[in-house]
Amino acid sequence: MDWRTLVTVFWAVFMAELGDKTQLAVLGFASSGKSAWSVFLGASVALVCTTLLGVVVGERLATWLPLGLVRRGGGLLLVVVGVFVFFRG
């Protein structure tokens, strides 16, 4: 196991998720009076599944495309989503 990569990815994802819409949705579900453990488990499984999808797709893209192109494409996608969210509302 590459511990340096593990810690780097943990902190990058942890900081990116703070205050994002997923966390706010979970906060809303938890404050609705429903079982906090059910909310935690449901959100955790969803995040694991989306992370698995990202890892599988990223690994496949890395075998077909140069790493620089994958990084630029990911960065461009984030910018496009950011602009969309900015102008939407």
Residues with Cβ < 8 Å from 62, sequence gap 6 or more?
Answer: 70
Helices marked H in the chain: 3-17, 21-30, 36-64, 67-88
Length of the chain: 89
Host domain of residue 16: 3-88
- Up-side HSE of residue 83: CA atoms within 13 Å toward CB? 6
Q: Tens digit of pLDDT for each residue in 2-46?
A: 999 999 989 988 888 877 888 888 988 999 887 999 999 999 999
Number of domains present in the structure of the chain: 1
Residue 89 binned pLDDT confidence (cut-offs 50, 70, 90): low
Q: How far apart are CA 56 and CA 76, in angstroms?
A: 20
Residue 84 binned pLDDT confidence (cut-offs 50, 70, 90): confident
